[in-house]
Structure 1
């Protein structure tokens, strides 16, 4: 088995057996290709089923000189998964990554926007242009429902249960969840649907997607990033933001206003509560105010 064949087989496994997203599979593939490229460059002929721990350890050691600890940790985790797959498929009996330690990176606190900053971004949208209503609905949905960018661009008309005040969201690993949606949010989606979307030349295979480009096709992740970046430049926002910043802000603002952590976990689609708990650390000033205001020993 050569490296390219092994990577191809692993891609199929991640897609069919694990149900991972296209982006996740791409990231895993790039990490494996780094290892394969490293072996080729040094003219090391070890195949996936034969490569030993000394070789992969040297790869990780050399890699650490060029990437940050967070990226290094991700690559180590990805390679461990790949070799576990080879064991599962009876190509290997051991995992050469087993004794390689992941660097300690700590928790990276998410960036957030204030309510005023979110309002400024949305108010900067030019509603005189046809895409204005769409862009407003996009930002309101990112912030109002806490969606990942991949969940937003894949949102379908058939996923909108407005009479029940929910939308159906397909998240990581094709796991589906129902997320509540406010009347405020529904209003802007309906404005876009009824005033702009109905006039688009929609391609047959894209008819069910909510958010479309001017040519009637599904929006890309890159387009959502571009929309947000341009709005941030318009209002002179100094923070580095992305679609995910709205998701972080959604969770942070809910928590600050007294929402239950378990409820936030369900809305975000986190498998583990520990993932959601990172928001407990975002605004320490707010938590101190809560303590001082409500604790009997203040």
Structure 2
């Protein structure tokens, strides 16, 4: 076993046990470190993970850039490397962090795609409630828009975490962090219909009794299935935009902020660890800004 493999395994245990990260996040971090270890073993075979210096890391990043790896992917890999060396510092295995001054490529902030309220209404109203999955799909899309859930949070939603009496959902987000998010009155209405009139009459597979949204076989829906349901519904609604479950989350946040919601409150509802992640939703189109100026500025 190489020294790189040994420290990667320790890092993996740390991410799992102490950081409580999800399986997918841990895999992503491991892939980042594997890229660095492969480069180091080829270019600097005598240098162990504990002997790496900033110069080695800069050479690695330059190598990534020469392979025409996108700036976003480079930033993602560098983030993983920084986390790895913070771990080695935390464990007192090194006294200086070589990744501390490692620069990330400048990223242009990509504004998320959003749907207008009219688009959302058109999609929701196009759902045939007479169809077997109609009420389920309407409830799911209402929740995505009214609560801003991630698709993983939607498919993992449990019946015991739906609080109709206070109008909140308890969801488990990234890093297994739980949060309470409000649910809209329309979403409550369609969710109750689905639970009481559709799901109640289903044959539910063993181990899926607590899962809210089920497929025809009584099992938890997959993330891919949610994507396909939305793609199909958007097409039926006659909307040409590229819409995914995340588009509903983007629209939820954007519409709240455009309506004057407090950024911290939106951050809490979305489950963002950093307020800077939420700030991307403060984009407003030029027409809206012009409208605000015309309405409220004394010398318009």
Specify if TM > 0.5. Answer: yes
Name 2:175's counterpart in structure 1: 173
Q: Deviations over 1:196-221 (max 9, x none)?
A: 22233323322212112222222222
Rounded Cα–Cα distance in structure 1 between residues aligned with 2:241 and 2:138: 20
Give the drift of 1:236: 4.9
Rounded Cα–Cα distance in structure 2 between residues aligned with 1:69 and 1:27: 17
Q: Is the 8 A contact 2:258 2:282 kept in 1?
A: no
SS in 1 for 2:165: helix
Q: Deviations over 1:20-66 (max 9, x none)?
A: 23332232222222223444566836443333433332221121232
SS in 2 for 1:179: strand
Name 1:114's counterpart in structure 2: 116
Name 2:49's counterpart in structure 1: 48
Rounded Cα–Cα distance in structure 1 between residues aligned with 2:241 and 2:10: 41
Name 1:31's counterpart in structure 2: 32
The correspondence for 2:96, drawn from 74, 94, 97, is 94
My pick for the range that moved more, 198-207 or 136-145, is 198-207
SS in 1 for 2:170: strand
SS in 1 for 2:51: coil
Q: 1:130 to 1:29 in 2, by over 3 A?
A: farther
The correspondence for 2:77, drawn from 65, 69, 75, is 75
Give the drift of 1:235: 4.1
Name 1:64's counterpart in structure 2: 65
Name 2:273's counterpart in structure 1: 271
Q: Deviations over 1:149-200 (max 9, x none)?
A: 2221221111111111111122222222221112211111112212222233
Name 1:215's counterpart in structure 2: 217
My pick for the range that moved more, 229-238 or 8-17, is 229-238
Q: 1:96 to 1:160 in 2, by over 3 A?
A: same
Rounded Cα–Cα distance in structure 1 between residues aligned with 2:209 and 2:65: 46
Rounded Cα–Cα distance in structure 1 between residues aligned with 2:214 and 2:9: 32
Rounded Cα–Cα distance in structure 2 between residues aligned with 1:22 and 1:283: 38
Rounded Cα–Cα distance in structure 1 between residues aligned with 2:38 and 2:217: 39
Name 2:295's counterpart in structure 1: 293
**Structure 1 length normalisation: TM-score?**
0.89
Gaps of 5+ in 1: none
Q: Is the 8 A contact 1:166 1:181 kept in 2?
A: yes
SS in 1 for 2:171: strand
Give the drift of 1:240: 2.5
Q: 1:262 to 1:84 in 2, by over 3 A?
A: closer
Rounded Cα–Cα distance in structure 2 between residues aligned with 1:158 and 1:176: 14
1:161 aligns with 2:144: no
Q: 1:97 to 1:285 in 2, by over 3 A?
A: same
Rounded Cα–Cα distance in structure 1 between residues aligned with 2:34 and 2:220: 30
Rounded Cα–Cα distance in structure 1 between residues aligned with 2:92 and 2:265: 42
Between the two proteins, the alignment pairs up a number of residues equal to 298
Q: 1:42 to 1:127 in 2, by over 3 A?
A: farther
Q: Is the 8 A contact 2:258 2:284 kept in 1?
A: no
1:85 aligns with 2:87: yes
The correspondence for 1:250, drawn from 226, 244, 252, is 252
1:147 aligns with 2:171: no
Rounded Cα–Cα distance in structure 2 between residues aligned with 1:179 and 1:92: 41
**Over aligned residue pairs, what C-alpha RMSD do you find?**
2.4
